[in-house]
Amino acid sequence: MKERIRKFLQETFFLDAFADDDSFLKTGLIDSTGMLELISFVEKAFEIKIEDAELLPENLDSLSQLGAFIERKRACLSRE
């Protein structure tokens, strides 16, 4: 999952290597418009809906945080 997201980020935003824990926003890897593109990609690629209340840095601001968030969302969906 992380590698799929990493590939999307590298191809879409022309990024070189970055660590799993690098903050997308604080490091300038992605701006606010880029976050919207990332959210759209994640929703489609992993078949989840990210609610407005979930649009928080602790869920989305690094590859590690995003991966953990997607896993939690998918676990909730599988229990429904």
Q: Residue 5 and residue 77: Cα distance in Å, rounded?
A: 20
Q: Helix count (H) and strand count (E) of the chain? A: 4, 0
Residue type, 32: S
pLDDT more than 70, % of the chain:
99
CATH code for position 40:
1.10.1200.10
Query: Which residues of the chain carry a pLDDT beneath 50?
Result: none
Number of domains in the chain: 1
Give pLDDT tens digits for 17-38: 899 999 999 999 999 999 999 9
The per-residue pLDDT for 68 is 97
pLDDT score for 14: 94
Q: Which domain holds residue 43?
A: 2-79
pLDDT given for residue 79 in this prediction: 79
